[in-house]
Structure formats: structure tokens, C-alpha cells
Chains A and B, each alone.
Chain A
Amino acid sequence: NAGVTQTPKFQVLKTGQSMTLQCAQDMNHEYMSWYRQDPGMGLRLIHYSVGAGITDQGEVPNGYNVSRSTTEDFPLRLLSAAPSQTSVYFCASTRTGYASPLHFGNGTRLTVT
């Protein structure tokens, strides 16, 4: 099993550019989510999904878009990148139902200049 796979690992964008961060999992997990990690701020939830066709906002959703067309994939779109979106992004998945451990991808380090 590959687990949770994120691409790319590193990305540099210019302000105003758009891009998609990819996330795929092969564990048949219903729940998938995106976090951003900034120094001293811990992990903040951006968007999450409890199944194909279902998405919802987390703590810091502004400037990001998601969709879930399949169980396996949960891409995160930056519509118009801003320097404030410079961060490390983690995708995570788990089974729904009672609390289960989150499985994290290796992360994408994004710099917006």
C-alpha cells in the first residue's frame, strides 16, 4: 500500500497564479482532509470530505477550493495564490465512524512570491 500520496513535494508560485495540489489514497478511506502548517500555528484544517461528492469547510478555507469526484482523490486548488498561502500542506485520510487515526501524506511545501 502506498498510503496517502501527495504531489508535488515542492512548488514555487507567483502571486496570482493558480495551481492544484494532488492527494490520493489507496486505503478506501471515506474521510479526507487538507491541513496547512505554519510555524507556531500547528495544523489548521482547510477543507474536508466524508465521501465522494461531499465536501465541507474547515477552519481556514478562504482562497482554496476542493472537490471529491472519487473516493481515492481529493485535490486542493489555489485559485489566485497569495504570499499568505506560503505554507506546508498536508493531506490526511481516515475511516469515518468513530475516531480513527489520521494517515498523513508527505506534504507539499509551497512558496508564493
Chain B
Amino acid sequence: GQQVMQIPQYQHVQEGEDFTTYCNSSTTLSNIQWYKQRPGGHPVFLIQLVKSGEVKKQKRLTFQFGEAKKNSSLHITATQTTDVGTYFCAGGAGGSYIPTFGRGTSLIVHP
């Protein structure tokens, strides 16, 4: 079945440093979603990418979808303590609305 791998599992950064998490699928995706989960909270939808090579920005966050639609990345510029949490990618295949989640990357920001 479809597998979505996400790396790294953890990332410690100093406040102000950049952060990137990567997501790779074993199959071609029709879309990829990104979620953020604050400590003790629930996952919250950030963004969805559907086009090959698509790049979207939300303030300091940049999301990319690979040309082959099998990989994606989330980059945060100049991290802040409010960025702390676990970031999940979730890939959808074909017409399915049931995404397959990566295991998440936990971002720890040291002030």
C-alpha cells in the first residue's frame, strides 16, 4: 500500500534558524496536505498542494510539491518559539479523500 515517509523525526533549532521537513511517497500523489500539531493539541490543517512543482507561501512558511508529485517539503524561515510543534504531511492518491500520514517531524525551538 501507499507509504509516506517523513524526515527528520525531530529537529532542534535555535530561534532564528531555518527549518525544513521532507516528505516522500512510495507512489505518485494527487495531492499533499500539511498539518501542524502544537504540544498537547490536535492537528490543524495548514495547506494543500495539488499541482506538480507547486510552491505556496504562508508568511515564513514555504511549501513545495515535487515535479514528480512524490515528494514535498515544508521550510520555515527564521523560526520562532511559536513554531514549536509537530508537522505532518499527508498524501492522497487517485481520487481518494483518505490521506496517508507521515510520522511527523517534531520541531523544538530553543530561545
Contact residues of A with B, CB < 8 Å?
A: 31, 33, 35, 40-45, 48, 90, 92, 94-107
Contact = CB atoms under 8 A, between A and B. Distances in A.
15 contacts: A31-B97, A35-B101, A40-B103, A96-B97, A98-B97, A99-B31, A99-B48, A99-B96, A99-B97, A101-B45, A102-B43, A102-B45, A102-B90, A104-B42, A104-B43
Contacts of B43: 43, 90, 92, 102, 104
Interface string B4-27: 001001000000000000000000
B95 A106 contact: no
Closest 5 CB pairs of A and B: A42-B103, A101-B45, A104-B42, A43-B101, A99-B92
Interface in B75-109: 88, 90, 92, 95-99, 101-104
Contact of B9 (A40, A97, A104, A106): A40
A90 B97 contact: no
Contact of A43 (B9, B44, B88): B88
A101 B103 contact: no
Given A99-B96, A104-B43, 4 more contacts: A40-B9, A99-B97, A102-B90, A106-B41
Interface of B: 6, 9, 30-31, 33, 35, 41-45, 48, 50, 88, 90, 92, 95-99, 101-104
A104 B97 CA distance: 15
Binding site secondary structure of chain B: loop
Contact of A101 (B48, B95, B96, B101): B48
B98 A90 contact: no
Given A40-B9, A42-B102, A42-B103, A100 B42 contact: no
Contact of B42 (A33, A40, A44, A107): A107
Contacts of A96: 97
Nearest to A88: B42
Contacts of A100: 97
B42 A90 contact: yes
Nearest to B50: A99
